[in-house]
A = this chain, B = another copy of it.
Amino acid sequence: MSSKNIVDEGDLILLVFDEKRRWLVKVEKDKEFHTHKGVIKLNDVIGKTYGSSVKSSTGAKFRVFKPLPRDYILKMRRITQIIYPKDIGLILLYSGIGPGWKVVEAGTGSGALTVVLAYYVRPDGHIYTYEVREEFQKLAIKNIKNAALEKYVTFKLKDISEGIDERNVDAVILDMATPWLVVPHAYEALKEGGSFVSYSPTIEQVQKTVFSLLKTGFFDIITIECFTRRILVREGKTRPATSMISHTGYLTFARKIT
């Protein structure tokens, strides 16, 4: 995913006009991509070096990048709520999810978090991701295939609150409406010292989850919220951005003890 630096047929690229106008595009032979600034022939993109540019039919210049994790998250097709890069960054650093880890995730949703988790456990780790709604899973499978990460992911059409099949996993990560119902199953599935993560928008979800973790034998339970603010650096006019996302979800972390 990182070594090759030339666009091949079948690659997923990030096409950028400016900060707002950018798309994830699958490079298919003889296809076109339509923008507000004219049509881009995808054949023109094949063979380009990442970081270079391509011109549309109207002569507008578009940059061609290899998508970074944040590009996948912010630009992939989705039918569910997004989880933001800032939150996934914290998840990695606080849970330890990284190369070689075996991770259980639920729910899959549109697969944004799945893509990033798969990216970071490569090449020896694996993601087992649970989802109950088939249409979500279908979209997620498509998104993971576009990112060429499918070999690191097992998709399960199953209600995780009825149990987790895997054992001795390094981490369990929940982005679902009722995480507290999964806490005892997470305990069973995790290896000793393993990481539990839950992401929830409401404070009541956090309370139920934390109280369940306390009862089930987890340790080092902490809940965090994370904010990011853009700084607009302009000659003589530097200032923070006017508005920001002020809430996505609370992150709760814990470790299994015995």
Contacts and interface: CB of A to CB of B under 8 A. Distances in A.
B98 A119 contact: yes
Contacts of A201: 239
Interface string A111-127: 00000100111111100
A89 interface: yes
Interface stretch (A1-9, A38-46, A131-139): A1-9
A72 to B, nearest CB: 10
A131 to B, nearest CB: 23
Contact of A255 (B65, B222, B223, B236): B65
A176 to B, nearest CB: 15
Which of A51, A101, A195 has the most chain B CB atoms closer than 10 A to its own CB?
Answer: A51
A83 to B, nearest CB: 11
A69 interface: yes
Contacts of A228: 90, 224-227
Interface stretch (A28-36, A155-163, A205-213): A205-213
A213 to B, nearest CB: 10
A65 B170 CA distance: 13
Nearest to A91: B89
A94 B122 contact: no
A70 interface: yes
Nearest to A195: B68
Interface string A1-33: 111010000000000100100000000000000
Which of A70, A99, A201 has the most chain B CB atoms closer than 10 A to its own CB?
Answer: A99
Given A70-B93, A225-B231, 14 more contacts: A2-B98, A49-B192, A51-B256, A66-B193, A88-B89, A89-B93, A100-B122, A202-B236, A207-B238, A223-B231, A225-B228, A227-B228, A227-B229, A241-B247
17 contacts: A1-B100, A49-B193, A49-B258, A51-B191, A51-B257, A63-B257, A85-B94, A89-B90, A123-B123, A123-B124, A202-B236, A204-B237, A206-B233, A211-B233, A224-B228, A224-B229, A241-B247
